[in-house]
C-alpha cells in the first residue's frame, strides 16, 4: 500500500443557512479545497461524496454526480457513501484505500448535508432511520432517547455525573466561540448547561449536537506526489473502519462501543503509535456522553474515568490532550454527512499550525473519530505532519 497524504482542505461555515442549498454548499467547500491544494478540477481522478440523507432532507437522489458536475468534475467516477453520521468518514476511508492501492493517484472527498430544509420533528424522524427500524424506531425511540439511556447506564455503572457531562459542553462551546466557522459561537457555564431545557433525561439541550447545514472537502494523493504539491503534506498514518450491531439491544453493554475500540486499535497499530502519542483529537460528540465514552474506548483513559477526565480540564485546549478544539459537533455543528471530513479539515488546520487562538502548540499527531448511529459504524483516522 502506498503512503497517502492530504494536500488540500476546505469547508463552509456551519449553521442554519436558509439561503443555501446542498449543491452550493458542496461546491463552495470543493472550490476552497482545490484552491488550498493549488489544484485544478482536471487533476482530480475520482470523487467520493459522504451524504447521509439527501433524498429525505431535500428530495434529491443521485447526489454524487449532481454535486460533481456543478463543481466542474463531470466525467470522472462520482460515488455517494452512506453510513449515518459517519458517511463522509467512510467516504474518506474508501478514497484512502483507492489511492493506497493504486487505483487512483488523486481523489477528492466531500461531505455535505442540508438538514434545516425540514422542521425539527421531521429531522428527528429522518435521523432515527440510522437506528434499528424493527425495534428501536418502532418503539418510538429517537437518538436523544438512545443516548440518554447510554448516559444513564454509564452513570449507574461508573458514577458519571451530570456535572461531568456539562463539562464537555462548556469546553466545546468555549472552543467553538473562537471558531469563525462554528454554528453556535456561544460560551456557556456549568450552571447554564445543567439548567438547560430537558431533552431526554439526563440530557439537556446543551448535551445535544446541533441541526446544521454545511460541507467539507479534502484532497488526497500519494505522499510522493504530495511533496511536489505542498511543503506541508499531512500524512494518513493510520486508518480503520469497523462496524457493530445497529440496535442497542443487540450489544453486550451500552457503555462502550466495540466499533470504536476496534477501529482505534487498528489505526494505532497501522500508525505505530499509542493513545499517549495523540496531541489533538476531534471526537464525535453527537451527545456529551459520546465524547466521554470515546475517550475511554480510544484508550485516552481507562473505563470509568471518562467523566472525571472531562471535568479535570485534561481535554481543554491547554490540557494534556485537547479534544474538539473546533468546538466539536456540540458547538461547531453537525451536518451529519459533512462531519467526518470536517473533523479532518480541523486536524489539518491544527497540524499545519493555522488554528489561531485554538492552536495546540507543537501538534504533530491528530486523531479523528467519526461515529455512525449509536455505534454501528466507526472510522478512526490518525494524521501526522509529513
| Residue (of 45, 38, 31, 32) closest to 7 by Cα position | 38
The end-to-end CA distance of the chain, in Å, is: 17
Catalytic-residue membership of 345: no
What is the SS3 assignment for the chain? CCCEEEEEEEECCCECCCCCCHHHHHHHHHHHHHHHCCCCHHHCCEEEEECCCHHHHHCCCCHHHHHHHHCCCCCCCEEEECECECHHHHHHHHHHHHHHHCCCCEEEEEEEEECCCCCHHHHHHHHHCCCCHHHHHCCCCCHHHHHHHHHHHHHHHHCCCHHHHHHHHHHHHHHHCCCCCCCCCCCCCHHHHHCCCEEECCEEHHHECCCCEEEEEEEEEEHHHHHHHCCCCEEEEEEEEEECCCCHHHCCCCCCCHHHHHHHHHHHHHHCCCHHHCCEEECCCCEHHHHHHHHHHCCCCCCCCHHHHHHHCCCCCCCCCCECCCCHHHHCCCCHHHHHHHHHHHHHHHHCCCCHHHCCCCCCEEEEEEEECCCCEEEEEEEEEC
Compute the distance between CA of residue 383 and CA of residue 366 in angstroms, rounded to an integer. 5
| Cis peptide bond upstream of 202, omega within 30 | yes
291 neighbors 377 (Cβ within 8 angstroms): no
**Which member of 208, 295, 334, 345 is catalytic?**
334
Catalytic-residue membership of 286: no
**Which member of 33, 85, 208, 295 is catalytic?**
85
43 neighbors 226 (Cβ within 8 angstroms): no
| Residue (of 202, 225, 181) closest to 17 by Cα position | 181
Q: Which residues participate in catalysis according to the annotation?
A: 85, 334
Amino acid at each position: 500500500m502506498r503512503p497517502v497524504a492530504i494536500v488540500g482542505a476546505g469547508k463552509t461555515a456551519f449553521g442554519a443557512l436558509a439561503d443555501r442549498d446542498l449543491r452550493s454548499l458542496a461546491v463552495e467547500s470543493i472550490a476552497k479545497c482545490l484552491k488550498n491544494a493549488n489544484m485544478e478540477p482536471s487533476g482530480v481522478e475520482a470523487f467520493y461524496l459522504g451524504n447521509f440523507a439527501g433524498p429525505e432532507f431535500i428530495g434529491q437522489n443521485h447526489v454524487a454526480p449532481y454535486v460533481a458536475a456543478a463543481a466542474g468534475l463531470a466525467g470522472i467516477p462520482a460515488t455517494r457513501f452512506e453510513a449515518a453520521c459517519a458517511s463522509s468518514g467512510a467516504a474518506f476511508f474508501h478514497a484512502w484505500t483507492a489511492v493506497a492501492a493504486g487505483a487512483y493517484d488523486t481523489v477528492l472527498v466531500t461531505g455535505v448535508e442540508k438538514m434545516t430544509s425540514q422542521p425539527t420533528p421531521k429531522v428527528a424522524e429522518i435521523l432515527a432511520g440510522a437506528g434499528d427500524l424493527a425495534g428501536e424506531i418502532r418503539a418510538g425511540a429517537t437518538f436523544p432517547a438512545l443516548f440518554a439511556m447510554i448516559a444513564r447506564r454509564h452513570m449507574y455503572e461508573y458514577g458519571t455525573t451530570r456535572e461531568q457531562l456539562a463539562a464537555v459542553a462548556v469546553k466545546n462551546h468555549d472552543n467553538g466561540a473562537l471558531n469563525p466557522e462554528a454554528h453556535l459561537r456561544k460560551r456557556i457555564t456549568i450552571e447554564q448547561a445543567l439548567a438547560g431545557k430537558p431533552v431526554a433525561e439526563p440530557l439537556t439541550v446543551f448535551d445535544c449536537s446541533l441541526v446544521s447545514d454545511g460541507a467539507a472537502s479534502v484532497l488526497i494523493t500519494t505522499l510522493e506526489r504530495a511533496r511536489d504539491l505542498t511543503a506541508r503534506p499531512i500524512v494518513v498514518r493510520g486508518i480503520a473502519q469497523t462496524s457493530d450491531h445497529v440496535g442497542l439491544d443487540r450489544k453486550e453493554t451500552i457503555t462502550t462501543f466495540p466499533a470504536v475500540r476496534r477501529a482505534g486499535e487498528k489505526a494505532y497499530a497501522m500508525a505505530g503509535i499509542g493513545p499517549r502519542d495523540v496531541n489533538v483529537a476531534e471526537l464525535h460528540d453527537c451527545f456529551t456522553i459520546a465524547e466521554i465514552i470515546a475517550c475511554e474506548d480510544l484508550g485516552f483513559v481507562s473505563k470509568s474515568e471518562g467523566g472525571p477526565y472531562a471535568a479535570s480540564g485534561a481535554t481543554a485546549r491547554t490540557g494534556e490532550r485537547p479534544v474538539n478544539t473546533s468546538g466539536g459537533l456540540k458547538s461547531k455543528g453537525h451536518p451529519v454527512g459533512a462531519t467526518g471530513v470536517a473533523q479532518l479539515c480541523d486536524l489539518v488546520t491544527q497540524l499545519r499550525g493555522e488554528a489561531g487562538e485554538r492552536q495546540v502548540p507543537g501538534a504533530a499527531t491528530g486523531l479523528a473519530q467519526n461515529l455512525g448511529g449509536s455505534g454501528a459504524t466507526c472510522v478512526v483516522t490518525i494524521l501526522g505532519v509529513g
